[in-house]
Amino acid sequence: MSNNPIGIFDSGVGGLTIYQEIHKLLPNENIIYLADSKHAPYGEKTKQEIIDISVKNTEFLLSRKCKLIVVACNTASTNAVKYLREHYEVPFIRVQPAIKPAALNSKTKIVGILATKGTLESELLFETSQKFAQGVKVIRQIGEGLVTLIENGQMHSDQMRLLLEKYLKPMIDKNIDHLVLGCTHYPFLSDQIQEIAGKNVTILDSGEAIARQTRVILRQEGLLNTEKKSTSRI
């Protein structure tokens, strides 16, 4: 069982930012990455649609004998992981926007979060902000259109630059000192975002934390792969 693969899914290439961190931390693990481009973007779908898609992805990964599933998508994590955990026995790792470290380290007590509509409107995000960002103002911004541009290979286009400026400038004007990337596609834009936001804004994503959490759960469940050779199928 411990030689079985870890399954990872997202609406397309975004979860590769999580895959990279997991592969770095757990080089012995076999990994299957499911890029569900057919249903991208998830961010504008209803909760029920996101649950249905996540169930299909889970069934696919289980049919490939995955021992653990990483939902490498904030939108599916915030909307569907509760359902998945209630209906399947395999352990699920979910991603969570890094609101807690942003709030803890903020000096201005104003932080920004850029994420999909589906994530920003989820109950889980609301609860996380309530729990971890007491006394800190959290400015939310939907990154409409960003995932589609990334999926279409237009990451460095003028259109991308214009959208990023439109979304980021109002948050910067409100004096945020931390910006949470609440969508696994967005770390691909980190350099552009940093350039627009300036060096006084710290950009946070959850890739490393998810990889560490995956290792904790694999260890806890006795599922760590100790064989040297690993394979990835993407």
Catalytic residues: 73, 183
- Provide, rounded to whole angstroms, the least separation between the CB of residue 118 and ligand DGL: 7
Omega prior to 41 cis, within 30 of 0:
yes
Q: What single-letter amino acid sits at 127?
A: E
Q: Are 28 and 227 in contact (CB under 8 A)?
A: yes
Partner residues linked to 233 by β-bridges: 32
Q: Which is nearer to ligand DGL, 53 or 66 (CB)?
A: 53
According to CB under 6 A, which one of 42, 92, 167, 188 is a site residue for ligand DGL? Answer: 42
Q: Which is nearer to ligand DGL, 208 or 221 (CB)?
A: 208
Residues 92-121 that bind ligand DGL (CB under 6 A): 116, 119
- Provide, rounded to whole angstroms, the least separation between the CB of residue 147 and ligand DGL: 4
How many whole angstroms separate alpha carbon 31 and alpha carbon 66?
8
Specify the stretch interacting with ligand DGL by CB under 6 A; choose among 27-35, 37-45, 54-62, 221-229: 37-45
CA dihedral 127, 133, 138, 143 (to 10 degrees): -50
Does position 70 bind ligand DGL by CB under 6 A? no
How many whole angstroms separate alpha carbon 149 and alpha carbon 28?
33
Q: Which is nearer to ligand DGL, 93 or 147 (CB)?
A: 147
According to CB under 6 A, which one of 40, 133, 176, 211 is a site residue for ligand DGL? Answer: 40
How many whole angstroms separate alpha carbon 17 and alpha carbon 204?
13
Does position 143 bind ligand DGL by CB under 6 A? no
How many whole angstroms separate alpha carbon 234 and alpha carbon 226?
22
> Which residues make up the interface to ligand DGL (CB under 6 A)?
10-11, 14, 40-43, 73-75, 116, 119, 147, 183-185
